[in-house]
Amino acid sequence: MNVFGLVVLDVVLLAGLLAIPIGLGGNFIILGAALLVALITGFARIGWVALILMAVFVAVGELLEAFLGSMMARKYGASGYGMTGAFVGGIAGAIVGTSVLPLVGTIIGSILGTAVGAVLAERLRGASEEDGTRAGWGALIGRTLASLFKLAIGIGMVIHVVAATHGGGG
């Protein structure tokens, strides 16, 4: 790969990493960049096994993000209502956050929405304020952990792609 191609790749990889904490599909961007490198280099720099492993990690990260907020809410005492509220609240919060403050609002809205959704659902079912708040904290912790896990996946993929393209080896 030439210098210009490497600079463009680095910018795309950085954009992918920056997209993760704001709730956008950063790991998909990084995976797409890795696939493009593989295709351009005839799979000499990044092979099928690496691409498949990256895709598996991306999928695991997405599944964790979708369910960890709900599962942690459960661990902190939420009922099925609270778990559902955490899941729906995370999606609603991301939508509202994006409309209020694009990019940054998405992640803030998603995290806060997860917590608020769990609290509201628990309160609507008749749980005490304390129990609802505890469920909300669990949802907040779970969603935050999921974001950190996805960021770790992205960093690992970027390290592999950079090593494969800048180091001369595969």
pLDDT tens per residue, the chain (170 residues)? 688 989 999 999 999 988 887 667 899 999 999 999 999 999 999 999 999 999 999 999 988 877 776 788 788 888 888 888 888 888 888 889 888 887 678 778 888 898 899 999 999 999 999 999 998 899 888 888 888 999 999 999 999 999 999 975 44
Half-sphere exposure of 80 (CA within 13 A, CB side): 0
pLDDT, residue 2, reads 86
> Which pair of structure tokens corresponds to residue 150?
């996805």
Q: What DSSP character marks residue 127?
A: -
Q: What DSSP character marks residue 106?
A: H
R_g over Cα of the chain = 19
> Which pair of structure tokens corresponds to residue 120?
């509201």
> Which pair of structure tokens corresponds to residue 97?
């956050």
pLDDT, residue 97, reads 86
Nearest residue to 1 via CA among 155, 164, 157: 164
Output the pTM of the full model.
Answer: 0.73
> Which pair of structure tokens corresponds to residue 70?
């709900």
Left, alpha or beta for 102 (phi > 0: left; psi -120 to 50: alpha)?
beta
What does the alpha-carbon distance between residue 141 and residue 147 come to, in Å, rounded to a whole number?
Answer: 10
Residue recorded with tokens 């592999």: 160
